[in-house]
Amino acid sequence: MANARREDREGRHEENKLCSQRNRKTCLDLYTLDNIRQSGYYTIDPDGSDGPITAFTVYCRMGRSQDDVVTIVHHDSEESIFVRSNRDGPGSYSRILVYFIGMDKIKALTNASRYCRQEISWNCVGTGFHFDSGKPSSWWVSWDGKPQYMWGGAKRNNTCGCAGYGCKNPNFTCNCDSAPRFSWDKDEGYLEDKETLPISEVRFGFTFKT
């Protein structure tokens, strides 16, 4: 009986040791299960140790409560990029976003997350979206390659975020569409649809000689 109890204790010790070595699925798990409060880079495994996606590193921004915990993933287009194409036409300029952890890992993360959002911004001059025309000139592309005819902060298709609170010209649903040809303007905001995020590409049109 004594040996059985010792083996049982040793078995529980090994089980606890293995559990402690497993990566948590999300930053929120690190916060709630491991009581981690320090923001920084941590290794997570959203589909678990038995899933096909290997563990990867993200930045966890810890907050005062579990509702403030944020997982941040970086890509190669976070700084401002000057957009100009050598030809004219809808979507003539293309920028493919490269995520440092890869698209498969990001999708595993979004599937494990309650809420996702991604900021997108365009400082424009001489060109716009033209969503209202039925022939958009600029758009972004979802993770699975589908064009999305809306911009950051928009609550419905064929609009930009300013349509919800008032664009500079009330006759338009995007600031970039209403700006004079040689005046700078901006459309920006957050995209929040988990089914389409993250952004895989942005396309801008009619940027030639703008």
Q: Tokens 């001059």 label which residue?
A: 125
- Kindly report whether the global pTM for this prediction surpasses the value 0.85: no
pLDDT per residue as tens digits for the range 99-124: 999 999 999 999 999 999 999 999 99
Whole-number Å distance between alpha carbons of 33 and 18: 15
The pLDDT of residue 13? 45
Whole-number Å distance between alpha carbons of 178 and 52: 48
Average pLDDT estimate for 31-40: 97
| 59 three-class SS | strand
Report which of residues 1 and 103 the model is more confident about: 103
Q: Are 124 and 162 spatial neighbours (Cβ–Cβ below 8 Å)? A: no
**Which of these, 128, 95, 114, lies nearest to 200 by C-alpha position?**
95
Q: Are 204 and 92 spatial neighbours (Cβ–Cβ below 8 Å)? A: yes
